[in-house]
């Protein structure tokens, strides 16, 4: 029986961006430090080895908040890798005006489900906030219902989850800086432990929105546990929670159920559950000020939907469930009889990654975890789930109450001619997988099993979501 999930293989770029220092590191830590043990769920962040190529060190430029030399370049890679700060992402996806008007998630709580722990995350959050002029976060951790083992930096699985924790916490806070952030730490990355933690969160109503940046092939999860998971999610949405999960970084495939090294044509759970809003990936193009230029389906600029190793394919997860039939709210846009994922998407490019202070990344590269001058680029669908969760916390605040499942509303918005400015419809790219003989799907107008309904324009989207509340 499958006892452990594999965390959402989010492409974590080990690209160190030195603030005032004279180096740039790339791939020094090789992969995600998450061992692919049998039945293991690994976090949605994934190292990209020794590529892409970066020419020379990246230095901070004068200013407050600072900018980095990787900002403001074309996304085609002609001038090197591109990165984005919180302010750029806020502007690109339409948060800026809302945040400045006080719509920032105040009074709401985002619960991030992850495995194990990260002793550096609170300091990462403080450095991120100071560097990018973000408000101090109201952050706490929860270790229930089972005790979490002490963090061991020599345990690659724990390291990978610690990286995931940093990404999830810092970027949820960046898009909902007034919200409370609760990191709910499972005792391990087994299906049973992750589910136990999620159930505790729901039963004790710890928050308002849940983010899960992990997953596995549907056929790899024990059917009994999947049924229990479905019941937990159903209870969550009935009590007002909005639940998100990343759709995966392996295109139309997921890793096999034993080693994870062989691709299977499969949708990912928990993203495929109809009570969950599945989040896919795009490659965002925005200028130095964060002005939106456009997007394509996430197919990593330096790799395509092909692996440097089979378990790291680097493009938006998506496809059709073999467990759940098509929900009624998806029928107008999904012509398949099965539940399709993702529902929406978000920037996931490593080229176009988000600047993130990462103490565990420093440690694993022989550096001081508390060094405030070194930042890393993160990408993958892991980046999208916590930021969609943050957007929903903002919408909850605007609505004056919790929205619960937003899937039906999203699909209504997606087919409304009056609401087209609420979502960026991403129509180009695909998630076909070479190692599966080119199996996969293409993006196109409206919903598709690569980018879903598209990415948010928060300024246009939040009023529609808030009406639901």
At 191, which CATH number? 3.40.50.200
Number of structural domains, the chain?
Answer: 1
Distance CA 15, CA 349 (A): 13
Determine the pLDDT at residue 414: 92
Helices (H), 19-135: 86-92, 96-100, 121-131
Give, in order, the Cα–Cα distances in Å from 429 to each of 45, 50, 132, 174, 231.
22, 25, 32, 28, 35
Within a domain: 132: yes
CB proximity list for 130: less than 8 A, separation 6 or greater: 372
CB proximity list for 236: less than 8 A, separation 6 or greater: 202, 210, 243, 275
Within a domain: 6: no
Determine the pLDDT at residue 396: 98
Determine the pLDDT at residue 59: 40
Determine the pLDDT at residue 63: 56
Determine the pLDDT at residue 417: 77
Structure-token pair, residue 49: 């080895």
CA-CA-CA-CA torsion for 65, 69, 72, 77, nearest 10 degrees?
A: -150
Distance CA 334, CA 328 (A): 10
List the one residue out of 37, 46, 39, 36 whose CA is nearest residue 8.
Answer: 46
Within a domain: 2: no
Full residue range of the structural domain in which residue 250 is found = 12-468
Within a domain: 342: yes
Distance CA 451, CA 234 (A): 24
pTM score: 0.89
Give, in order, the Cα–Cα distances in Å from 193 to each of 116, 129, 205.
10, 31, 18
Within a domain: 458: yes
Going residue by residue through the chain, which has 469 residues, state the pLDDT in tens, using 9 for 90 and above. Answer: 223 344 443 334 344 444 332 222 222 222 222 222 222 333 333 322 222 222 222 344 555 567 788 898 888 878 888 999 999 999 999 999 999 999 999 999 999 999 999 999 999 999 999 999 999 999 999 999 999 999 999 999 999 999 999 999 999 999 999 999 999 999 999 999 999 999 999 999 999 999 999 999 999 999 999 999 999 999 999 999 999 999 999 899 988 888 777 888 999 999 999 999 999 999 999 999 999 999 999 988 665 666 545 445 689 999 999 999 999 999 999 999 999 999 999 999 988 999 999 999 989 888 899 998 888 888 899 999 999 999 999 999 999 999 999 999 999 999 887 787 899 999 999 999 888 888 999 999 999 999 999 999 999 999 999 987 5
By CB atoms closer than 10 A (0-12, 13-18, 19+), residue 143 is middle
| CA-based radius of gyration for the chain | 19
Within a domain: 242: yes
Within a domain: 40: yes
Determine the pLDDT at residue 306: 62
Determine the pLDDT at residue 10: 39
Within a domain: 264: yes
Quick check: 60 and 424 in contact, CB under 8 A?
no
List the one residue out of 192, 251, 180 whose CA is nearest residue 226.
Answer: 192
């Amino acid at each position: 029986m499958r006892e452990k999930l594999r965390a959402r293989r989010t492409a974590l770029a080990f690209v160190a961006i030195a603030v005032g220092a004279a180096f740039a590191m790339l791939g020094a830590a090789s992969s995600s430090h998450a061992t692919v043990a049998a039945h293991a769920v690994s976090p949605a962040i994934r190292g990209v080895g020794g590529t892409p190529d970066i020419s020379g060190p990246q230095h901070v430029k004068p200013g407050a908040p600072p900018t980095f030399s990787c900002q403001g370049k074309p996304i085609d890679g002609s001038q090197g890798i591109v990165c984005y700060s919180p302010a750029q992402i806020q502007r690109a996806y339409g948060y800026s005006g809302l945040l400045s008007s006080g719509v920032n998630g105040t009074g709401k709580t985002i619960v991030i489900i992850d495995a194990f722990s990260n002793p550096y995350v609170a300091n990462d959050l403080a450095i991120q906030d100071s560097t990018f002029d973000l408000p101090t976060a109201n952050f706490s951790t929860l270790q229930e219902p089972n005790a979490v083992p002490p963090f061991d930096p020599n345990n690659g699985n724990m390291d990978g989850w610690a990286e995931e924790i940093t990404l999830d916490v810092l970027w949820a806070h960046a898009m909902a800086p007034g919200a409370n952030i609760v990191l709910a730490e499972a005792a391990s990355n087994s299906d049973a432990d992750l589910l136990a933690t999620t159930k505790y969160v729901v039963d004790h109503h710890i928050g308002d929105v849940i983010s899960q940046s992990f997953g596995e092939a549907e056929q790899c999860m024990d059917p009994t546990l999947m049924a229990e998971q479905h019941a937990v999610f159903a209870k969550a949405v009935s009590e007002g929670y909005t639940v998100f999960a990343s759709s995966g970084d392996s295109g139309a495939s997921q890793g096999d159920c034993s080693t994870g090294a062989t691709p299977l044509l499969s949708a990912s759970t928990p993203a495929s559950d109809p009570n969950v809003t599945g989040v896919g990936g795009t490659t965002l193009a925005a200028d130095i000020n964060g002005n939106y230029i456009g997007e394509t389906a996430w197919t990593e600029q330096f790799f395509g939907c092909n692996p440097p190793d089979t378990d790291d394919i680097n493009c938006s997860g998506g496809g059709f469930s073999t467990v759940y039939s098509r929900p009624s709210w998806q029928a107008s846009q999904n012509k398949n009889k099965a539940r399709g994922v993702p529902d929406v998407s978000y920037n996931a490019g490593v080229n176009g990654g988000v600047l993130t202070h990462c103490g565990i990344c420093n440690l694993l590269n022989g550096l001081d975890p508390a060094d405030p001058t070194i930042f890393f680029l993160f990408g993958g669908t892991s980046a999208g789930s916590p930021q969609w969760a943050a957007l929903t916390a903002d919408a909850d605040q605007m609505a004056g109450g919790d929205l619960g499942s937003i899937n039906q509303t999203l699909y209504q918005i997606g087919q409304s001619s009056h609401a087209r400015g609420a979502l960026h419809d991403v129509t180009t790219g695909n998630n076909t997988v070479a190692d599966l003989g080119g199996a996969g799907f293409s993006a196109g107008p409206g919903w598709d099993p690569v980018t879903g309904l598209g990415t948010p324009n928060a300024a246009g989207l939040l009023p529609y979501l808030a009406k639901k509340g």
